[in-house]
Structure 1
């Protein structure tokens, strides 16, 4: 081991590397070294600072006044030192020699940071009232040297060898880094493998069973994020620690592991496998690389969200599998007129009715909703009942779900009110909005406006191009909305969107029931 440095300095540099990562900095500056020094509490310098009321919280607050966090996460594991940091280490060596000490320790590093003078660490220490002479006297008192005049450097120049090494070389040359135990590395290796394998199985399910490009992309992104995080642990050392013949868990199997009866069981098992492995990665990585642990935690929460998104997508696909025609109905001019209208729709076999009326009072809207639920029950129909924009009233009138727009409640907020079993639909007007609705856990989406409509005004019409993009991006049930008629329906169906939400085309028809039958015939004839 290089006698110029004590083992504590190596640990401090490890902590400095972590602090740089936490601030998204691509270098180790004097500020990171100072933070590492006070975090490594069991040393003379840190105790000296604590006695003066200077702890890691105080230092961090002062550092954050002078430097900002970087915009992006840093992926490199070991970061280079800045010239000022190297200079501070040179000065630490000089102080060690001048004081007659055997090797540079944390106390000499503190002196080096003070003597360097221009770095962030020196500015912070000056702001906190720490002086070089006082600190040098304290170091001399704690560690009496073999030379006199410890309150000042030696009269003759004492030049330490130039520092030309990187952080990695410092750790290697001075043998300062305490190597993680093989057991910890084996845990991290096994857990990273389990997490990656689980995510790959999930990705295959989304790709081949659900045939969903968007969700497949999400799973693939998580898998790549995991690989990037594992690289920060040092993938080579994880692989080198592997001991398959000596692993007592290799031959341990449970009965449920050897049998799966449905792809959905495979999906559920591997979502849980990935999440559990990520938890293990997050916990054990704190021992050797605390700066990486938050990445594993973030990926784990994304896995939980992906599980919820998949569940909503599968639920929507199952419950709307045969739903092609979705009619938007207002409350009509009276309760009797409303009942007559919905009876006509139900008699014709409409698949879904959304009650949407901005002009009714809450009580009137609730009464219409309860009437619609009663008529569906009386007809014995499988028609879905969706209430627009009001999850609270949807619960009171026992609707099958609620539909929200871009400026109304979020999917998450609507779900808090209606619960997990009711459908939540979202209106989307761009591909980004459609993608977000899927990831937010919507059960279905409305996509448009496709054409100008007499019932609702829009500044822009993304048209059939948006329908085509959405059809290619996701398998979540999607209904084309906006100005759709029997005359332009074929243009809609040609995009790959096989569902339509209509209002005026049915509501203004002389015979709404006959209009529904014509729409159903056209839609069902085009169903793949």
Structure 2
């Protein structure tokens, strides 16, 4: 006997969830909870599309076909779902963080690599600048994993892929690392620049975890400057 197909969440369900997550019944608190919930849903739906775009590409579908299925042009589909990055400026520790981010995505069974996985990748390197700052704020790898579990959860049935696509917000954060580095006068991209980029990643899961730990862009940048200054003096 066939099982019933799952149905998308109804508006009533989302309203109830926003009310449950709100800090109070005040209108602004409810609106804030709804905005946070929308951001989470947006990131998940982006990841959903990314998952099936990746599957379509592996099956040999062209970008023209994918664009037509999405109702956009070939170029628009490529720009959103096939971002390219130049990792040549990444330090060894930053590259290790990217490897750890991919491992985090697989660990949670997620068919995408989002800002939360980038943050988990940084937390996995406590000896690096970003990892040291995260630990100082109480965000070691276990704490970040617990936050991801609470916000997103696991999806074991979809995990295990050797390659996972970036979500649009993760792609934007990676693209922003170069600007963060240049703004500090650096010709390399380290873990600290990725962490700074994540603090600017609006309405993302990674940003929410950082906000909950009171790690703003200004605060992280100040800690990065102090950390690197002390490192130079010590050297």
Choose the corresponding residue for 2:159, options 42, 60, 74.
Answer: 74
For the pair shown, the structure with the greater C-alpha radius of gyration is 1
Pairing of 1:120-519 with structure 2 (within 5 A):
120-143=205-228
Change (3 A) 1:2 1:65: closer
1:26 aligns with 2:111: yes
Query: Following the alignment from structure 1 to structure 2, what is the Cα–Cα distance between the partners of residues 126 and 94?
Result: 21
1:62 aligns with 2:147: yes
Change (3 A) 1:47 1:78: same
Kindly indicate whether the alpha-carbon contact (under 8 Å) linking 1:13 and 1:36 is maintained by their aligned counterparts in 2: yes
Kindly indicate whether the alpha-carbon contact (under 8 Å) linking 2:112 and 2:164 is maintained by their aligned counterparts in 1: yes
User: Displaced runs of 4+ in structure 1, greater than 3 A?
Assistant: none
Kindly indicate whether the alpha-carbon contact (under 8 Å) linking 1:37 and 1:46 is maintained by their aligned counterparts in 2: yes
CA drift at 1:72: 0.4
Query: Following the alignment from structure 2 to structure 1, what is the Cα–Cα distance between the partners of residues 172 and 187?
Result: 20
SS of structure 1 residue aligned to 2:159: coil
Query: Following the alignment from structure 1 to structure 2, what is the Cα–Cα distance between the partners of residues 74 and 3?
Result: 28
CA drift at 1:2: 5.4
Query: Following the alignment from structure 1 to structure 2, what is the Cα–Cα distance between the partners of residues 122 and 64?
Result: 15
Query: Following the alignment from structure 2 to structure 1, what is the Cα–Cα distance between the partners of residues 98 and 162?
Result: 13
1:35 aligns with 2:120: yes
SS of structure 2 residue aligned to 1:143: helix
TM-score by length of 1: 0.26
User: In the TM superposition, what whole-angstrom CA distance separates every residue of 1:227-273 from its partner, at most 9, and x where no partner exists?
Assistant: xxxxxxxxxxxxxxxxxxxxxxxxxxxxxxxxxxxxxxxxxxxxxxx
**Highest RCO, 1 vs 2 (Cα 8 Å, sep ≥ 6):** 2
CA drift at 1:15: 0.9
Kindly indicate whether the alpha-carbon contact (under 8 Å) linking 1:24 and 1:72 is maintained by their aligned counterparts in 2: yes
Kindly indicate whether the alpha-carbon contact (under 8 Å) linking 2:110 and 2:155 is maintained by their aligned counterparts in 1: yes
Query: Following the alignment from structure 1 to structure 2, what is the Cα–Cα distance between the partners of residues 116 and 56?
Result: 20
Structure 2's unaligned 5+ residue stretches are 1-85, 230-235
The residue aligned with 2:173 is: 88
Query: Following the alignment from structure 1 to structure 2, what is the Cα–Cα distance between the partners of residues 46 and 2?
Result: 19
Q: Which has the higher strand share?
A: 1
Structure 1's unaligned 5+ residue stretches are 145-528
The residue aligned with 1:101 is: 186
- Alignment length (residue pairs): 144
User: In the TM superposition, what whole-angstrom CA distance separates every residue of 1:265-315 from its partner, at most 9, and x where no partner exists?
Assistant: xxxxxxxxxxxxxxxxxxxxxxxxxxxxxxxxxxxxxxxxxxxxxxxxxxx
Q: Cα RMSD (Å) of the superposition?
A: 1.7
Query: Following the alignment from structure 2 to structure 1, what is the Cα–Cα distance between the partners of residues 159 and 148?
Result: 19
The residue aligned with 1:113 is: 198
